[in-house]
Amino acid sequence: MKISEKENYILIEPLEAPVVNFVSSLTRRHSEFNNKNIMVSLLAYHSLQKEEVMGFLEISKAHQQNNKSIVLVSNAISIDELPEEIVVVPSLKEAEDLIQMDEIQRDLGL
């Protein structure tokens, strides 16, 4: 996986081919990122199944309990298919905006 540190989040991009391999790799390394906001770009995958994205559920729950954001970026799956704990947006810009809004809400105690 490719990891890029940004101002208020970490951008993670897969280098692994199947999504399940990427999820497994991210899960193993999650403790490295659990105190930071995470943006996971899945734009390299042009086709995603609900079952593949559901692999992010446990990481998402753990991250949110730690008061940090985790946002998946993909236009290959409908958000209507996923539970609300998994946040998916179609572009990197929307993910960045969402993380900023989450940070503002946390700062305000909302």
**Closest CA relative to residue 67, chosen from 88, 96, 38, 91:** 38
Q: How confident is the model at residue 50 (pLDDT cuts 50, 70, 90)?
A: very high
Complete domains list, the chain, with CATH = 2-108 (3.30.750.24)
pLDDT of residue 76: 93
pLDDT of residue 15: 86
Mean of pLDDT values over 24-34: 90
CA distance 74 to 72: 6
